[in-house]
Structure 1
Amino acid sequence: MSAAPFNGFFITGTDTEIGKTCITAGLTHAFQQLGCRVAPVKSLAAGQTPDASGQWVNEDVAQLHAAQTLGLRMEEVGPLQFREPCAPHIAARLEGRSIDREALLTAIAATAARADLTLVEGVGGFRVPLTDTWDTADLAVDLGLPVVLVVGLRLGCINHALLTAEAIRARGLRLAGWVANTADPHQPHVADNLSALSARLDPIAGGPCWGHVPRLTDPSPAAVAAHLQQPLLLNALKA
């Protein structure tokens, strides 16, 4: 693995639909509060709907775009977007398009050049196919960034988190930290799950969980950031 071409973190998750984008937006807000010029990037996004003006918009890209204060264009936050809400390699095939590895890496780097900290969010879990020979784990390796794992608190989360952490280490990447996000509002034994996760993930990440985000009525970047531990984020910047 080569050295990271820019400062930042790669944000991955234990699965799809566990709140990676909400957490990435919250981290954007939190790091901005620490004085960082932050560029959030949704590396690939599948699923667009027309807005009031008729423009096709991806909800995740729009959420990250709203969280940043650099004045980034929507296409800088979401460099590769598809209409169909499905796995990226399928969405690309349906549109007769290809996912070009070098073009995507170049686009991410161009956005990163406008910031001093870049948060690159993956898609789905850690190993989502992008082409026949390239997946999101390969993307993380190409970027060479330390990884932040979003653990969706729901049934099976301990197993999913440990398998993902194992996969991250197997790729030679550093797990910089993890965030617990309440994906299932009815998840039982939350404290016990957090205790089990901390006992196993904290030693890998070299420190405690960056925060536990409960189910929020308004999951705005500021509301999410309020549940993140700023001293731990500051330590991560120095690592």
Structure 2
Amino acid sequence: MPAYFVTGTDTDAGKTLAACGLLALARRAGLTTLGLKPVASGSDATPGGLRNADALALQAQSRPQAGAAGGQAVDYATINPYAFAPAIAPHLAARRAGVEVRLADLSGWLRPLLALECDLTLVEGAGGWRVPLSAREDLAGLAAAHALPVILVVGLRLGCISQARLTAEAIAHDGLRLAGWIGSLVEPAFAEDGALYRDNLATLASALPAPCLGVIPRLPAGTPRAMAESAAGCLELPDVH
């Protein structure tokens, strides 16, 4: 199974929950897994350095070696090489920290991890498809540099159809394949009219040039691991092709 780049229609679309759900589903099937977060804003200070909740959730689902169970099988720096404290756009957070995030450096970090050939590797972006890293580069360039097929997480809210179509068009414009999309209910009120909700999902299914890998409802708050397991029950793994 190839590696995939996970992007969203916007910030807080549910990328991490969807990615962790896919990784948990793969682990249930006995597959090796690796979840990566190249750049993360909104990180907390800890004795070990800045730690991002999304990256920690991906770390918890990463088992790149067969038989690895319990504990953390991958160190944090491997999962998330760039963590910034303020919850703002990555290029602005990097500027405040006096750090330059370059695609060349991210590619150098990612290349040996892809060479591990895990059964499922997911590289989760930050925000939407066009989130910048600098005035010249954006994070989508990392997916393009490694020809990663893309999984799009659609935050199910008012306006999501246009956002999803525009994102799919941008992915195609960059020469990448949309391998699948996942709906993530981020606004419960969006599903109050059941018929309209189903019509929106049907419109997305007909408008997006890739299969739906599942729809994640609004889940009760819980531990990241518990929520990942719940999300896994709503998803299917992307086709290797």
Query: What TM-score do you get using the length of structure 1 for normalisation?
Result: 0.88
Q: Deviations over 1:43-88 (max 9, x none)?
A: 210111134x574311111111112233111111112111221111
Alpha-carbon RMSD across the aligned residues, in angstroms, is 1.7
Given that 1:126 and 1:137 are in contact with CA atoms closer than 8 Å, whether structure 2 keeps it comes out as: yes
Q: Does 1:209 align with 2:212?
A: yes
Unaligned runs of 5+ in 1: 1-5
> Map of 1:26-105 to 2, 5 A cutoff?
26-51=21-46, 53=47, 55-70=49-64, 71-105=73-107
Q: Which residue of 2 aligns with 1:228?
A: 235
Q: Which amino acid aligns with 1:138?
A: G
Higher mean C-alpha deviation, range 68-77 or range 145-154: 68-77
Q: Distance in 2 between matches of 1:69 and 1:138?
A: 26
2:150 aligned to which of 114, 122, 147: 147
Given that 2:36 and 2:124 are in contact with CA atoms closer than 8 Å, whether structure 1 keeps it comes out as: yes
Given that 1:29 and 1:222 are in contact with CA atoms closer than 8 Å, whether structure 2 keeps it comes out as: yes
Query: What TM-score do you get using the length of structure 2 for normalisation?
Result: 0.87
2:170 aligned to which of 163, 167, 171: 167
Q: Which amino acid aligns with 1:221?
A: A
Q: Which residue of 2 aligns with 1:3?
A: none
Q: Distance in 2 between matches of 1:126 and 1:199?
A: 21
Q: SS where residue 179 of structure 2 aligns?
A: strand
> Map of 1:119-198 to 2, 5 A cutoff?
119-188=122-191, 189-198=196-205
Given that 2:50 and 2:84 are in contact with CA atoms closer than 8 Å, whether structure 1 keeps it comes out as: no
Q: SS where residue 16 of structure 1 aligns?
A: coil
Higher mean C-alpha deviation, range 174-183 or range 42-51: 42-51
Shift of 1:143: 2.0
Q: Which amino acid aligns with 2:54?
A: D
| Percent sequence identity over aligned pairs | 40
Aligned residues: 224
Instruction: Mark the CA change 1:146 to 1:49 in structure 2 (over 3 Å): closer, same or farther.
Output: same
